[in-house]
Amino acid sequence: MSKEDWRRVISYPPDKEEPVAEIYYKDEFWAEINYEDHGSFFVCFCNIDEGNYWELPYDEAMEVLEEAKNRLKKLQRTPEQQAEHDAWVEKYKDWKPTPEEQAEYEAKMEEQRKKYYD
């Protein structure tokens, strides 16, 4: 992915009172930012294949994206942690847990979900 993959187009759709910023990624429509309601910006995402369309308040959408990014950033591993993780994955790649081990594992995963996502 590079900046050259993105294209921004200002257009004047006939159904809008104000111009909109259309954003394309690799020549495919990705999002639109529009200005409505006397000073409110909205970001719109569209799944063209399925015909879904979502229009969200711009500031709210950006805040949610920033929060999600910050949560994810907290989980990033250092190179040393990644090496430890890779070794752990290799060690347990053929693990066949007993029902008790599976229950213990699921309880630990639920604890982690609550810790990081609640």
The pLDDT value recorded for residue 99 is 92
Q: What is the DSSP code string of 98-109? A: -HHHHHHHHHHH
pLDDT of residue 68: 87
What is the pLDDT, as a whole number, of residue 22?
Answer: 94
Structure confidence by residue, pLDDT tens digits, 94-115:
888 899 999 999 999 999 888 8
Q: What is the pLDDT of residue 37?
A: 67
Q: Record the pTM.
A: 0.57
SS3 12: coil
Q: Tell me the average pLDDT across 1-13.
A: 90
The tens digit of pLDDT for each residue in 43-88 reads 999 887 787 888 889 999 999 999 988 888 888 888 898 899 899 9
25, 46, 87 from 33: Cα distances, Å: 14, 12, 45
pLDDT at 11: 93
